[in-house]
Structure 1
Amino acid sequence: MSNRITSSFGTFSTAREVVAGRDLTGRTALVTGAATGIGIETARALAEAGADVVIAARKPDLAAAAAADINRTARGPGARFEMLDLSSLASIRALAARWGETPLDLLINNAGVMACPLSRTEDGLEMQIGTNHFGHFLLGVLLAPALEAGARASGSFSRLVSLSSIGHRRSGINWDDPNYLTRPYEKWEGYGQAKTANSLFAVGFHKRFANRGVTANAVMPGGIMTPLQRHMAREEMVAMGWIDAETGAIRQGFKTPEQGASTSIWAAVGPELEGVGGLYLENCAQAEPWTAEAPYVGVMPYALDPEDADRLWDLSREITGAW
């Protein structure tokens, strides 16, 4: 791949290593799902660099505990909590209304649901694409004026980071029935569709807002054991080769949560990405095309297809009632 964007960091770099030397004083970041997993490590790294960090989550007690933990080492304002349930369009609109056009420099759409049984959001959407994509779509569009204000205030680009996954290879978008209203539900297909949507959202958002000072990129964090696996039985993870049946040891190649947060942080602060967007990033570099020889890295072409990104944007506007 010619002109591929890379960094000095790699697969097992940590979020702290990526943000080291960056001064984010005066910058505000909102991280969804930052009460656990790689989200809390993303928020921690930003807070330790001096940013004012907002943990947007649906469990106040868990978020309060996360903020208290982060604030033990934060430099500057530290972390605070905002209520957000991404499975409720009303909750998303309420957060956006509270926020208004207060300048926002970083929006990291980190929260996610994986491989859950068939269930539906408050608005009748299939839970995985409803939460992972449609919820984040509405949040991003409603907070776009705040991101634009952040860019004007700082004189540099604000950034939206959309967390995708190698799981996107399991499915593109089913345009006829994205919410499984008529077709049989398969949880991994549903997850793949949602993660493809996360990548296409970054493509679509960047196209529409880069000329207003806001860039967007998709991120694949890697394999990490976090509460994201809450819907998976131990036997399933053994069968998939994620953990050893006898010892319970995690497969070699999995990352720690702090390592898993590194590409999100690079997408948020990396100088190589200033003004650059519409990309799929992994291991602190622009991803190369997916191949069967290396199935756990790389990006499928449909996840970056500009026509599919436009089609998804129109569908998402229709479903969420957003701009």
Structure 2
Amino acid sequence: MSGFGKTSTTDEVLAGKDLTGKTVFITGGNSGLGQETGRAMAANGAHVILAGRDAAKLDEAANIIRTETQNDNVETIICDLGAIENVKACGEEASTRFESIDILINNAGIMATPKGATKDGFESQFGTNHLGHFVLTKALMPLIENGSDKRIVNLSSRGHFMSPTLLNDPNFETTTYDPWVSYGSAKTANILFSVGLEERFAKKGIHAYAVHPGGIETNLGRHLTAEQSAALVSRVTTTDPDFAWKTIPQGAATSVWAATADELADQGGVYCEDCNVAEIDNESPTSGVRSYALDSGNADALWTMSEQMTGEAFTA
């Protein structure tokens, strides 16, 4: 056990850690968990790069972090995860601006959206939450290899309980679309991607971690109707009578723990929650990770499918 838990905050997890000289790249860094992750890292001396679609929102977040932390080493970069060409352009720009990335935190995501498609025609949630990060991670891998920490953190969710990744129909071409099944499929993919990264890159000292931040009220739920929000809260509180919303600093704590914890230095391909590595559990509605999300065969199948869908060969 790490000594941290459900109510631990980012500042508590990072207390006493000196991140001076470390470069941290965070997607979805302009708000919510991403912004708090950036603030906490910057407060401990890190060079922070906030990535997102909206330049104005990124600039605002960066200015807030600089002011709060007195760390001016906070930069921004445009990255639209729903457009593969833009993701690749972000990677190319990053390679010219930065020498290395010590920690990559794939934090951005969308949840339970109406059926839609990315600019490349992928189902919106799978395309944005997984495929965009798949291509971005490939594009940034040379910088990660140049880094010292070599850690990749992929934001998943307990939402992976809702569905395995739909390996035979990721775009819901024949499956009836359900926003929560889509979300579950994408969040399982985030875990399987961590497993796949670990299998391919651990020999280079690169380790990947999937993270469940907990239940937090952020703009991730902006697509939910009032009825959907009420149904979600009802479902969560029915399965977990002790459920309580986390604050944003509590929600981002597991991300910064996975990114910096000494005890994770030589292991990856794991799913973390409440600042600890979770056990496989196929029954509990409130904790653990489903076995299908850590299955090596599923991870390999997802990797091959992702390469085929994006046209991006991603090898070690």
- The superposition leaves residues 217-276 of structure 1 with CA deviations (integer Å, 9 ceiling, x where unpaired) of 100000000000001122322233369xxxxxxx95110111000000000011111121
Determine whether 1:206 maps to 2:203.
no
Count the aligned residue pairs: 305
Determine whether 1:146 maps to 2:143.
yes
- Partner of residue 49, structure 1: 44
Determine whether 1:85 maps to 2:75.
no
SS in 2 for 1:39: helix
Q: Which amino acid aligns with 1:315?
A: M
Confirm or deny: 8 A CA contact 1:87 1:130 kept in the other structure: yes
Identity %: 45
Q: Which amino acid aligns with 2:220?
A: L
- Partner of residue 287, structure 2: 297
Q: 2:155 aligns with which of 157, 163, 169?
A: 163
| 1:201 Cα offset (Å) | 0.3
Distance 2:288 2:70 in 1: 35
1:43-122 matches, cutoff 5 A: 43-100=38-95, 102-122=99-119
SS in 1 for 2:4: coil
| 1:77 Cα offset (Å) | 4.0
Q: Which amino acid aligns with 1:11?
A: K
Structure 1 stretches of at least 4 aligned residues deviating more than 4 Å after TM superposition = none
Distance 1:239 1:123 in 2: 32
Confirm or deny: 8 A CA contact 1:48 1:78 kept in the other structure: no
Confirm or deny: 8 A CA contact 1:38 1:261 kept in the other structure: yes
Distance 2:94 2:39 in 1: 22
| 1:147 Cα offset (Å) | 0.4
Determine whether 1:219 maps to 2:211.
yes
SS in 1 for 2:147: helix
Distance 2:289 2:24 in 1: 27
- Partner of residue 239, structure 2: none
Q: 1:240 aligns with which of 229, 232, 236?
A: 232
Distance 2:234 2:81 in 1: 28
> Which runs of 5 or more structure 2 residues have no equivalent in the other structure?
236-241
| 1:60 Cα offset (Å) | 1.1
- The superposition leaves residues 160-191 of structure 1 with CA deviations (integer Å, 9 ceiling, x where unpaired) of 00011000011112222111123211100000
Q: 1:310 aligns with which of 277, 284, 300?
A: 300
- The superposition leaves residues 37-95 of structure 1 with CA deviations (integer Å, 9 ceiling, x where unpaired) of 11111111001011110110001111111111111122544322100000000111001
- Partner of residue 257, structure 1: 248
Determine whether 1:192 maps to 2:167.
no
> Which runs of 5 or more structure 1 residues have no equivalent in the other structure?
1-5, 152-156, 244-250
SS in 1 for 2:56: helix
Greater alpha carbon shift after TM alignment, 114-123 vs 170-179? 170-179
Q: Which amino acid aligns with 2:55?
A: P
Confirm or deny: 8 A CA contact 2:282 2:291 kept in the other structure: no
- The superposition leaves residues 255-304 of structure 1 with CA deviations (integer Å, 9 ceiling, x where unpaired) of 01110000000000111111210000000001122354x41211000000
Distance 2:43 2:287 in 1: 30
Confirm or deny: 8 A CA contact 2:109 2:129 kept in the other structure: yes
Confirm or deny: 8 A CA contact 1:134 1:320 kept in the other structure: yes
Distance 1:320 1:52 in 2: 30
SS in 1 for 2:69: coil
Confirm or deny: 8 A CA contact 1:33 1:111 kept in the other structure: yes
SS in 2 for 1:13: coil
Q: 2:130 aligns with which of 127, 130, 133?
A: 133
Q: TM-score, normalised by structure 1?
A: 0.91
Distance 1:242 1:73, change over 3 A: farther
Confirm or deny: 8 A CA contact 1:159 1:216 kept in the other structure: yes
Q: TM-score, normalised by structure 2?
A: 0.93
